[in-house]
Structure 1
Amino acid sequence: MLVYPNIDPILLSLGPLHIRWYGLAYLAGVLLPFLVFKRDYRQRLNMSLDDIFNYISYLIIGIIIGGRIGYVLFYDFIEFLHAPYLIIAIWKGGMSYHGGAIGSIVSTILFAKRYHLNKLMLLDLLAIGSTIGIFLGRIANFINGELFGRVTTSPLGMVFPMGGPLPRHPSQLYESFAEGLLLFLILWVVRKYWAPRPGILGSLYLILYGSFRFILEFFREPDAHLGFIIHVFSLGQLLCIVEIFIGLYLCWLLRPKPT
């Protein structure tokens, strides 16, 4: 059994201001992709620095709104029906990856339309850049001791402060590796050596992320208030199935047309 490191979720305190690893991961997850792919944004899409900063603003708004609406609708809908105002209660916590993904896609399409940019190329960069945010976000989940895995006898198990006395899978680290690092490397290799047409990289992201997340959900503890939705499948897995089929459909739409 491994020992949980029990890192303080608060990185730095400046009087009443607390800087948390989770918030830092969110910020870095949005900004780092633009540093890594700065050349692509500047040269391939001909975006100025002002355009990039404006796009970052679009993304942040899209992620927050989409993530919050997604959480309320997917994971807390009954409570929302009783108290609709909860949809804006960001301070209560609760963000959905799938909702945030939808929000970032919508905001990217709106931005591309307004600034007359190739939306498929922009979505491809969003896809590969998102893996950086996922990698950092899952590490932050691990530091917070949240979203832990199921009880296990595996030597990889560890006891989480909020997970009871039994060892559990560090599923946050599994997801950080597979959905973050591994997916980034796959998309990077495909982009570098295959150079697919615009839109394929984003579609491939949907397929692979959905597949990795679907598998790793078997190691992750389901949400306590939801449990399993259908037999042994969680809500996250059902959403991933939808995501995979959307990715496959987009690949079919973007297939080479016969001449």
Structure 2
Amino acid sequence: MIYFHDIDPIAISLGPIKVHWYGIMYLLGFTAAWWLGRKRIAAGRLPGVDANGFSDLLFYAMLGVVVGGRVGYMLFYATSEFLHNPLLLFKVWDGGMSFHGGLLGVLLAAWWWSRKHRLHLFDTLDFVAPLVPLGLGFGRIGNFIGAELWGKYTDGSWGVVFPSGLPAPLNGLDLTTLKAEFATGALNQYARHPSQLYEALLEGLVMFLVLWVVSAKPRHRYVIAGLFALMYGIFRFAVEFVRMPDNGVYLAFDWFTRGQLLSLPLVAFGLVLLALSRRAPVLQPVLPVAPEGAKA
């Protein structure tokens, strides 16, 4: 059954204070990462690191996601606007975050934290990778609620009519009029793939389940991070076929998008890491030592 998108992107409004669903999704993502990470720390999955050390890592990673995601979006998808007005970088309330930029930000943050704690970077990344997918999934749900990054037209009964995705002059009509038109079936031809939900399923739930199950036992270094890069690259590349290209522009062949271009290095990187893992050591869990005098 075709669905008419009518979700208020603002979850809570208290006078001038407005809390958007997208922000709540980010909060849920970081909360899930914190909870899962604490469980892995308690199980000794990152030897020598306690809960406080993990909290520092999560804080650096949060900064990496936000700063890297925003900078990446401006550089990858809004280059000309950014060069014309660099202050757009700080207008985060207008939207615009890049996964690939956020990933680079997290890599930099993890490198800095690992260097400080004298840990191998990929031991840190293997630890962090299973904590990320749920946040990606929540973020894509936020995209859906905000009616952004929608897909191409579809004849499927699961299509979604996004008012912001309607052509002129329909996109200039008020919501009440559009609902009346939708009730007659006149807008069914404009139903789109809910590509945000496809990505929430693949990048969020599927990746989380695979990485969490695989990482339940000690694995060779590079395996978990390699699987993360490989799966994300493949899933993102595939969904781009039914998702509208960023800024409506294809890079080549009338189907190759910027998102696919940025995903190919991730696929290659994941394959390289999995190849390297064959001769890499296995990081064994080390349970935290109870303080002297504590009861067993």
After TM superposition, the score normalised by the length of structure 1 is 0.91
Match of 1:21 in 2: 21
Q: 1:210 aligns with which of 233, 237, 248?
A: 233
2 CA distance for matches of 1:197 and 1:63? 26
What secondary structure, in the 3-state scheme, does the structure 1 residue paired with 2:161 have? coil
1:187-238 CA-to-partner distances (Å, cap 9, x unmatched) read 1222236x42122101111011100110011111112x35111111110001
1 CA distance for matches of 2:32 and 2:208? 13
For residues 21-170 of structure 1, the aligned pairs below 5 Å read 21-42=21-42, 43-45=44-46, 46-164=48-166, 165=187, 166-170=190-194
Task: Give the residue type in structure 1 aligned to 2:203.
Answer: E
> Is residue 11–residue 20 contact of structure 1 (8 Å, CA) maintained in 2?
yes
1 CA distance for matches of 2:90 and 2:116? 27
- Sequence identity (%): 39
Task: Give the residue type in structure 2 aligned to 1:168.
Answer: R
What secondary structure, in the 3-state scheme, does the structure 2 residue paired with 1:12 have? strand
Change in Cα spacing, 1:197 to 1:117, as seen in structure 2 (3 Å) is: same
Q: 1:229 aligns with which of 228, 234, 251?
A: 251
What secondary structure, in the 3-state scheme, does the structure 1 residue paired with 2:160 have? coil
TM-superposed deviation, 1:11 = 1.5
After TM superposition, the score normalised by the length of structure 2 is 0.80
- Higher mean displacement: 153-162 or 44-53: 44-53
TM-superposed deviation, 1:126 = 2.0
What 5-or-longer segments of structure 2 have no aligned partner?
167-186, 281-296
What secondary structure, in the 3-state scheme, does the structure 2 residue paired with 1:217 have? helix
What secondary structure, in the 3-state scheme, does the structure 1 residue paired with 2:149 have? coil
Aligned pairs, number: 255
RMSD, aligned α-carbons? 1.8
TM-superposed deviation, 1:176 = 0.5
The answer on 1:176 being equivalent to 2:200 is yes
1 CA distance for matches of 2:202 and 2:222? 22
1 CA distance for matches of 2:261 and 2:76? 11
2 CA distance for matches of 1:103 and 1:171? 25
1 CA distance for matches of 2:153 and 2:5? 18
- Higher mean displacement: 184-193 or 229-238: 184-193
1 CA distance for matches of 2:273 and 2:133? 19
> Is residue 75–residue 226 contact of structure 1 (8 Å, CA) maintained in 2?
no
Task: Give the residue type in structure 1 aligned to 2:127.
Answer: L
2 CA distance for matches of 1:89 and 1:144? 17
2 CA distance for matches of 1:79 and 1:226? 16
2 CA distance for matches of 1:19 and 1:82? 30
1 CA distance for matches of 2:4 and 2:131? 29
1 CA distance for matches of 2:5 and 2:78? 31
